[in-house]
Amino acid sequence: MSTPDKAIDVVRPDPFLEMMERVASNPDIDADKMQKILDMQIQVMDRTARDEFYRAMTEVQKVLPAVMKDSFNPQTKSHYAKIEAIAKAIKPTYTKHGFSMSFTQGKSDFEQYMHIEGILRHSAGHSEDFYFVDLPVDMVGIKGQPNKTEVHGRGSTFTYGRRYLTCAMFNVATEDDEDGNAAYEPPPAKLISTPQIKQINEMLTAADEDLELLLKWCKVETIDAIPANKYATVIKRLNEKIDAKNA
């Protein structure tokens, strides 16, 4: 008895790679022209990946559920959602749409604070790494009395930071969360540096962006008043303007 033939997946050649092979075999095409073609294709691929990232984010936010608070903090007498509850509620949705996250911790510019960064990646190839927060290391209770070892305190702070950034990345709907000291002691605002101010000025010219519009968008009166945590977002906006201008 014969069995039906199994379908065979046919791997189709990449049109761009085929074109590059033809160009490379043409002695009349010089290296500079090839490099320009390659740079152009990379720009198109980057833009496509970025557009797919934003499209997928829109779809995720359409269907993400609100996260129910599942825990109680006796110190602050408040309910909050643990990182496990948040992951259980939203991870199936964001992974279905191609997203993944990673977190790192490092030295903060503020004394006795922890700097926590989050990277949001998409399967199309685009990622965004401007999510971060600086939190005081959670070593004491609400009355200021030590209640943790340093290891426990740093672990608690990192967990809080991951939870905070996860909600920020996907705009997760939760009620006020005041389960840790970090919610009560935000660090002083840090502004962009002199080299960053110079870069923004240069990109403003390249993008033909109106300075007043940018400042209004950032809700500040001068470039040097832009908060450091908005720097990456400003650069992203200006890069998009430059891409649009050169398209």
Q: Which two tokens stand for residue 127?
A: 């990622």
CA 187 to chain centre: 21
Q: Helical H runs in the chain?
A: 15-24, 31-63, 83-96, 150-170, 194-207, 211-218, 231-246
Query: Across residues 25-43, what is the average pLDDT?
Result: 76
Which amino acid type is present at position 175?
A: E
What is the pLDDT at residue 53? 95
Which amino acid type is present at position 8?
A: I
Which amino acid type is present at position 169?
A: M
Closest CA relative to residue 232, chosen from 127, 156, 155, 146: 127
pLDDT in tens, 99-152: 999 999 988 888 889 999 999 999 999 999 989 999 988 766 555 555 567 778
Q: Which two tokens stand for residue 98?
A: 């191609």
Average pLDDT of the chain? 81
Higher-confidence residue: 178 or 40?
40
Q: Which two tokens stand for residue 59?
A: 């779809």
User: What is this structure's pTM?
Assistant: 0.57
What is the pLDDT at residue 57? 94
Query: Across residues 21-45, what is the average pLDDT?
Result: 76
Query: Across residues 198-216, what is the average pLDDT?
Result: 89
pLDDT above 80 for 219:
yes
188 pLDDT tier (thresholds 50, 70, 90): low
44 pLDDT tier (thresholds 50, 70, 90): confident
- Point out the least confidently predicted range of 59-63, 93-97, 187-191: 187-191
pLDDT above 60 for 173:
yes
How far apart CA 80 and CA 156 sit, in angstroms, is: 14
Length of the chain: 247
How far apart CA 53 and CA 126 sit, in angstroms, is: 6
How far apart CA 102 and CA 128 sit, in angstroms, is: 11
Longest dimension (CA), the chain: 81
pLDDT above 50 for 182:
no
